[in-house]
Amino acid sequence: MLTPKLAKQTKPTSATKCEVRSSYEYVEGWGMTVGGDSRLLHPRSTEEILASYNIAHDGGVKLGLRGSGNSYGDASVNEDGHVLDISNMNRFLDWNPETGVAEVEPG
């Protein structure tokens, strides 16, 4: 269910230079004991992460972070706020076999 506070945050703001995919969902915590309605922002690039921060800032709402949704304390539940869902940013960007160092996205 879309709460009145979330309904006000349906359009991108002028501070965003790129569109960020978003959806309104009931977000549950890891143990499924708590949850809340949130606008999930699904960035696919670092530019879209910045745009997501701008959307939350311009809307005056908090931005929770969510990777796989397994955090203790249910930090990814941000009722009546926005959630930055980075789970789809899961690519390997670079691999150095000499050092064993990999550059990966955060999801």
The ranges assigned to domains in the chain are 4-104
User: Torsion angle of alpha carbons 63, 28, 37, 86, nearest 10°?
Assistant: 40
3-state secondary structure of 87: coil
The CATH code that applies to domain 4-104 is: 3.30.43.10
What is the per-residue pLDDT for 70?
A: 63
What is the per-residue pLDDT for 105?
A: 80
What is the per-residue pLDDT for 86?
A: 87
For residues 21 and 82, what is the distance between their CA atoms, to the nearest angstrom? 12
Which mean pLDDT values do the consecutive 10-residue runs of the chain (107 residues) have? 44 59 78 76 90 91 77 65 85 92 85
What is the per-residue pLDDT for 73?
A: 60
| Amino acid letter, 61 | V
Distance of CA 72 to the CA centre of its chain: 17
